[in-house]
Structure 1
Amino acid sequence: MKVSNTRRIAEKLMQIMQIKEVSSMVNVIITNNIAANSIVPEDPDALRKEAIVIQKEMPEYSVDRVMMLLMIEAMVGPYLEPQPEVMEFFMKWIAAESKVFDVAEFNKNSYIKNIDFANQSNGDYELRYHDLSPYELDIYNIPKRIDELCVDIPRVSCFTEEFKYPVIFQKSINSTWMSVSPNEVFTMEKPIKNAKGKVLTLGCGMGYFAYMASIKEDVESITIIELEQSVIDLFEKCILSQFENKDKITIVKADAVEYLRNIEDGVYDYCFADIWIGIEDIAPYFAVKEIGRNLRKTKIEYWIEDSFAILLSSSVWIEIMKTFSEANKMEIPPLDESKLTSSDKRKENYIHRLLSDVEISKPEHIDYYMKPQNIISLIDRTDIIF
């Protein structure tokens, strides 16, 4: 990579550096707090009274939404209060991306409505319901990216009454293994909509994608590839038996990557890949991506691919800053290598190779290469192996 030493590029880098640092902090505070704790109002009545007063100045938002925003503000306020303009910027965007869900509407979801998770178990696994308390904060979708600023806005939600959603509980680790939470529902919307014809899905999970695709008239069949026999047994015994279109489903016990590698392009009309736990599990994404990008007749999509691209944009940023600093003999604080995992190092190395021929001579080039969708396009066009 080459980065030109111009005043406009230096100004652009400084602008991004300042806002990106705050953006990362806001995301960590909100997402980590919500993941680690049940964030609920200590005194809902008092919070509502406060929200009623404030809502008069924010008529575009309901009282319930203002209640949620007050809880978010309480989380980030101690860190952003010294910068009121920054605080206002982030709260404005968080408010725009926040949602207050209606339990009755969510319960109309066909999977949640028709698949019973009460009092069923198989081996180490148990089907249960998890509940979100009234006004408990949750992350309902991947972050909203503001491309021109390289800022990511967490998407926060709540329900106004208790909401129960299905989970699989693993007894040996005393923890939830998988769930059909609002986040799962929203991040699956696009692939469910796009599935048609003969469908291949890599990974079984709770069968949410398979079920939602199976009830579509334009889906002829669904082949599920799953390696773990215990997952297959659980799915067949407790979940598949409840599918109204179970005749559309075929389960194949196999390694998903190897199966995809050996299929003939066009045998399936559509493929949905979902064999990773989350964005921290990026190696399986690349393993599938490196095969899938060669498919022409089979349309393939990847669960939370936009989240992977947002994650990789941080590596792109490091590569740009490192190149600019080295070229201009600027001293920047070195990365603490001791804190980098092997996955982190692989990401940095991959991005370094991916961008090796890139030349940034205008500020707009920085915007282009930091944009998640453009990172995906670069990965689609390269033959570099992760």
Structure 2
Amino acid sequence: MKVANTKKINERIMQVESIRQAFLMLNTTVTNQIASSCIIPGDLDSIKADAIKIRADMDRNNGKNYSVEQITMLLIVESLASQMIPGNTRLIDMYMNLVAPESKIFDVNEFKNNPYIKNIVFHNQKLGDYEFYNQSIAPYELMIYNLPQSNNPFYINIPRIGCFTEEFIYPSIRQTSIKSTWMSVTPNEVCTIQSAIDNAKGNVLTLGCGMGYFAYMASLKKEVESITIVELEQDVINLFEKHILPQFENKNKISIVKADAIEFLKNISDGEYDYCFADIWIGIEDIEPYFSVKEVGRHMRKTKIDYWIEESFASYFLPYVWIELLKAFANNNNIELPLTDVNLSEELRKTIYIHRLMKSVEIRKPEDMDYYMNPKNIIKLINKTKIEF
């Protein structure tokens, strides 16, 4: 990587670095707390009263058009952020100005009318290592509802935070041997899969069965002729075939194959399926399965492949891209930067991958930095190179 030594690039780097680390700490803590535990306010009535006052002030001052419910949720998020860095109102205000536009209040009725949630009935049934059960999201319980938003001046993955104002009950499958939820139909699941449902057409291949949400929603489309599900776990197949598939309106479109998804993909011809949706990972911690499918899918030209939460994988690399950019700027221009001590040695494989990926990149102006700190453009770079993870 080459980074030009210009005044504008220097100023941009210093501007970002001066606040980026504090934002990363704050943002990571807030995101992890919401994702790993139930964040429910203790004194909701008091928070709502404050939200009503803020809403009134917004009306008087022609402020942003946030509802009382959305302000209530944002006050809960702000309280969580304030616990991380008490007294730093400037940083918290900057952070909340990034979080607020991406926040969302969900309508329980909208999800109740989702075709899958409405039509697929789950009872407390068990088969092998898996069992059905219902979970609930309490009113104003914070949740991450979609992929993070990374298009901001500090290159931080801003969480998309949402909540319901009423209790929402949703179906889940638990893996009993590890006493953990294996799959569920949450707003995050619905939102992150929607683009794949929209893109599905013709003869469709889906890698991974889950609860059959994608297969069911895609099967409702007239443009979808057939759906082949590839699943390795026999218990999952049995659960799906016995309790879920019989409830599909268009079950005649569905076939399921017991196989390793990557091996199956290796042995089909390009164009045998019109569309493929890959979803064999639990989250961004499963980056290796993503790249395994990605490498096999490189030869596909006629079959369009979408990868669940692909932008999140790219976002996961952004800190490594930033460090690579800083190192290149310092090395290429023989200068010293007051860099924050970021130890990525335990992630050596990712560091090496990004170094190789960015090797031919040239940064000539601040806009080039913006380009390569965008997850969508990291995906483009991954797609057009032959570098393997």
TM score, norm. by length of structure 2 = 0.93
Q: Give 1:362's match in structure 2, choosing from 354, 360, 365.
A: 365
Deviation track 1:53-89 (CA, whole Å, cap 9, x = no partner) reads 2221234122111111110010112445644343223
Give, as a single letter, the amino acid of the residue that structure 2 aligns with 1:159.
F
State the distance in 2 between where 1:356 and 1:261 align. 29
State the distance in 2 between where 1:135 and 1:218 align. 38
Give, as a single letter, the amino acid of the residue that structure 2 aligns with 1:330.
E
Shift of 1:51: 1.7
| Counterpart secondary structure, 1:206 | coil
Q: Which deviates the most, 73-82 or 161-170?
A: 73-82
Deviation track 1:116-151 (CA, whole Å, cap 9, x = no partner) reads 122211112111111001111111001112255423
1:262–1:147: structure 2 CA closer, same or farther, 3 Å change rule?
A: farther
**Contact conserved, 2:144 with 2:159, CA < 8 A, in 1?**
yes
Q: Which deviates the most, 207-216 or 229-238?
A: 229-238
Shift of 1:38: 1.1
Q: Give 1:379's match in structure 2, choosing from 372, 377, 382.
A: 382
2:174: which partner in 1? 169
**2:20 aligned with 1:20, yes or no?**
yes
| Counterpart secondary structure, 2:150 | strand
1:37–1:146: structure 2 CA closer, same or farther, 3 Å change rule?
A: same
2:42: which partner in 1? 42
Give, as a single letter, the amino acid of the residue that structure 1 aligns with 2:58.
M
1:4: which partner in 2? 4
State the distance in 1 between where 2:82 and 2:283 align. 28
Shift of 1:334: 5.1
State the distance in 2 between where 1:123 and 1:129 align. 18
1:80–1:58: structure 2 CA closer, same or farther, 3 Å change rule?
A: farther
State the distance in 1 between where 2:52 and 2:106 align. 19
State the distance in 2 between where 1:163 and 1:150 align. 33
2:291: which partner in 1? 286
Identity across matched positions, percent: 57
| Counterpart secondary structure, 1:188 | helix
1:326: which partner in 2? 331
State the distance in 2 between where 1:385 and 1:66 align. 45
State the distance in 2 between where 1:23 and 1:207 align. 38
1:51: which partner in 2? 51
Q: Give 1:336's match in structure 2, choosing from 343, 365, 376.
A: 343
Q: Which deviates the most, 232-241 or 209-218?
A: 232-241
Give, as a single letter, the amino acid of the residue that structure 2 aligns with 1:90.
Y
Q: Give 1:63's match in structure 2, choosing from 45, 65, 68.
A: 68
| Counterpart secondary structure, 2:353 | helix
Give, as a single letter, the amino acid of the residue that structure 2 aligns with 1:336.
N
2:350: which partner in 1? 347
Q: CA RMSD in A?
A: 1.7
State the distance in 1 between where 2:344 and 2:153 align. 30
Q: Which deviates the most, 364-373 or 79-88?
A: 79-88
| Counterpart secondary structure, 2:117 | helix
Q: Which deviates the most, 355-364 or 102-111?
A: 355-364
Give, as a single letter, the amino acid of the residue that structure 1 aligns with 2:374.
K
Alignment of 1:127-166 (within 5 A): 127-166=132-171
1:99: which partner in 2? 104
Alignment of 1:119-134 (within 5 A): 119-134=124-139
1:32: which partner in 2? 32
**Contact conserved, 2:344 with 2:351, CA < 8 A, in 1?**
no
Q: Give 1:114's match in structure 2, choosing from 108, 112, 119.
A: 119
Shift of 1:49: 1.8
Q: Which runs of 5+ in 1 are unaligned?
A: none
TM score, norm. by length of structure 1 = 0.94
State the distance in 1 between where 2:280 and 2:218 align. 17
State the distance in 2 between where 1:264 and 1:316 align. 35
State the distance in 1 between where 2:163 and 2:222 align. 33
**Contact conserved, 2:230 with 2:256, CA < 8 A, in 1?**
yes
1:233: which partner in 2? 238
**Contact conserved, 1:81 with 1:87, CA < 8 A, in 2?**
no
Query: How many residues are treated as equivalent by the alignment?
Result: 382
Shift of 1:348: 1.2
Shift of 1:329: 4.6
Give, as a single letter, the amino acid of the residue that structure 1 aligns with 2:336.
M
State the distance in 1 between where 2:269 and 2:364 align. 43
**Contact conserved, 2:151 with 2:374, CA < 8 A, in 1?**
no
State the distance in 2 between where 1:96 and 1:7 align. 32
**Contact conserved, 1:319 with 1:351, CA < 8 A, in 2?**
yes
Shift of 1:9: 1.8
Deviation track 1:261-304 (CA, whole Å, cap 9, x = no partner) reads 12111110100011111111111111111122321111111100
State the distance in 2 between where 1:39 and 1:369 align. 34
| Counterpart secondary structure, 1:264 | coil
Give, as a single letter, the amino acid of the residue that structure 2 aligns with 1:55.
R
Q: Which runs of 5+ in 2 are unaligned?
A: 60-64
State the distance in 1 between where 2:88 and 2:100 align. 18
| Counterpart secondary structure, 1:161 | coil
2:196: which partner in 1? 191
Give, as a single letter, the amino acid of the residue that structure 2 aligns with 1:242.
Q
Deviation track 1:346-380 (CA, whole Å, cap 9, x = no partner) reads 21111111111222232222122111111111111
